[in-house]
Amino acid sequence: MGNEQNSTHRETPPIHLEEYVALAPRTTLGLGGPARFYAEPTTEEELIAVVAWAERAGLPPLLLGGGSNLVVADEGVHGLILKPRLNGLSFCDEGIIEVGASYPWDKLTKECAQRDLQGIECLGGIPGSVGATPVQNVGAYGQEVADTILEVRAYDRKTKAITTISNRDCEFSYRSSRLKKEAGRFFVLKEKFRLLHQGRPEIRNGELAQRLNSAENPSLEEFRATVVQLRKRKSMVYDPRDPNHRSAGSFFTNVEVTKEQLEEIKKRAESEPPHFVLAEDRFKVPSAWLIEKAGFPRGTQWGNVGLSTVHALALVARNGATSQELVDFARKVKEGVFSKFMIKIEPEPQFWGFSSPRPLETGP
Ligand SMILES: Cc1cc2nc3c(=O)[nH]c(=O)nc-3n(C[C@H](O)[C@H](O)[C@H](O)COP(=O)(O)OP(=O)(O)OC[C@H]3O[C@@H](n4cnc5c(N)ncnc54)[C@H](O)[C@@H]3O)c2cc1C
């Protein structure tokens, strides 16, 4: 478990801390060892005080939400894992909502759809907390939180002050943001969204369009319910009864390529790759397709880990799996795609407790 807490640090923590707390049951993959220290602050003041204590003690603080985008090392995490309890939801005027970082994301999408507040209904069924959504600019079925987040209230560990980050300053991009790039700097406390009262979403997803085709003027609840149904068929809703449920959702992000790379992929695959046009010379290619064409079909089993039987992008853990096995398999998939297509696919989840923050990389 690495070094112990700085032995010269004898200051009493400001809130109760638990020791050697199992993290596996707190993640959707269900893998990994314990947290050296663990606490659940219930107010912003408690969170900030315990972060300051951890920094003085030389223990890196990390924020845990629903654990749905995390791979925890088998050795566990030497540090202070904080799972805040900052709930609270208020519906303000003109479609503005304010919501605490710990509020369950899926519940929020449901409540907004019920109130006919449009903007996040296509993001229904995504597990985890509100506070994590700006980190990787959560997105699905043609929507992403960058479209509706007005601002993020966060504790900035660099300036040691609470700050408000505007949508623009979040620097959102595909599955990324400033909060992800400056990992560990901002601890999200609250978010403000601007939703549209009685609006209807632009359907940017073919599957969704097909499903909603027969419905006349579907309500936002119908939109959301249809998305959740589509997601269930791909095991993309966390359900412990589903044999593919132990995943972190998509393990790899989709790739952006040039026209020349797209042609090369086509040549190597001997078939037309599915793609979306992003700009004149930029195309997005689904990594799931590349993975299958590289020789890893859905349901591929590798020891106690493998690919979901219904979605090649989800790596799943089975009984007896370890994080190391999962990481080794992910590396094998990544290398397989590279050797077939000369394309690098990048992991989407965060890795905690590994000696390298990029454990899939083999080179320097
Ligand atoms: C079945 C399944 C389906 C999924 N589908 C999608 C999808 O369609 N689209 C998509 O984008 N993602 C998807 N995901 C990934 C995941 O659900 C999202 O990334 C989600 O936002 C993670 O939330 P969480 O609370 O579980 O974060 P965690 O896994 O707990 O944490 C993830 C990262 O966010 C940080 N973090 C958590 N809370 C905060 C906070 N308050 N402030 C600052 N940093 C914080 C953590 O420190 C960590 O670095 C899916 C996952 C699963 C298991």
The domains of the chain are located at 18-82, 89-233, 255-352
**C-alpha of residue 101 to centroid of ligand 1, in Å:** 12
The CA distance from 160 to 236, in Å, is 37
Residue 215 pLDDT exceeds 80:
no
* Structure confidence by residue, pLDDT tens digits, 152-182: 999 999 999 999 999 999 999 999 999 999 9
CATH classification for the domain delimited by 89-233, as one of 3.30.1130.10, 3.40.1360.10, 3.30.465.10, 2.60.40.420: 3.30.465.10
DSSP strands (E only) in 101-202: 117-118, 139-140, 143-144, 149-156, 161-166, 186-194, 196-197
CA gap 220, 199 in Å, rounded: 9
From 126, 178, 309, mutation site for ligand 1 pocket: most ligand atoms within 8 A of C-beta: 126
Q: How many angstroms separate the Cα of 63 from the Cα of each of 34, 72, 246, 273?
A: 14, 13, 21, 38
Residue whose CA is closest, atom 36 of ligand 1? 132
Does the fold of domain 255-352 match that of domain 18-82?
A: no
List all residues 6 or more positions away from 87 whose beta carbon is below 8 Å from its beta carbon: 100, 102, 103
Q: What is the mean pLDDT of residues 192-196?
A: 97
- What is the 132 CA–ligand 1 centroid distance (Å)? 5
* pLDDT, average across residues 221-246: 96
**pLDDT(69) > 50:** yes
**Mind listing the pLDDT tens digit for each residue in 234-293?**
999 999 999 999 999 999 999 999 999 999 999 999 999 999 899 889 999 999 999 999
Q: Which of 80, 87, 135, 190 for a ligand 1 pocket mutation test, highest count of atoms within 8 Å of Cβ? A: 135
Q: How do residues 284-343 score in pLDDT, each as one tens digit? A: 999 999 999 999 999 999 999 999 999 999 999 999 999 999 999 999 999 999 999 999
What is the percentage of the chain residues whose pLDDT exceeds 90? 86
* Residue 1 confidence (pLDDT): 42
Which residues have a catalytic role annotated?
175, 250, 348
What's the fold here for domain 18-82? 3.30.43
For 72-97, write each residue's pLDDT tens digit.
999 999 999 999 999 999 999 889 99
Q: What is the pLDDT of residue 3?
A: 46
Residue % of the chain over a pLDDT of 70: 96
Task: Measure 54 CA to ligand 1 centroid, in angstroms.
Answer: 23
* Residues having CB within 6 Å of any atom of ligand 1: 28, 62-70, 101, 126-129, 131-133, 135-136, 138-140, 186-188, 236, 238, 247-249, 350
**At residue 215, what is the residue type?**
A
Q: Please, which pLDDT band fits residue 349 given cuts at 50, 70 and 90?
A: very high
What local confidence, expressed as pLDDT, does residue 60 receive?
92
The CA 108 to ligand 1 mean position distance, Å, reads: 15
Q: At what angle do helices 323-341 and 259-269 cross, to 10 degrees?
A: 100
Q: Which amino acid is at 55?
A: E
Pocket test for ligand 1, best of 29, 64, 68, 120 (most atoms within 8 A of CB): 68
pLDDT on residue 6: 55
Most confident of 7-16, 215-224, 319-328: 319-328
- Residue 217 pLDDT level (bands cut at 50, 70, 90): confident
Question: Which CATH fold would you assign to the domain 255-352?
Answer: 3.90.78
Q: Using 50, 70 and 90 to split pLDDT, how confident is the model at 356?
A: confident
Radius of gyration of the chain (CA): 21
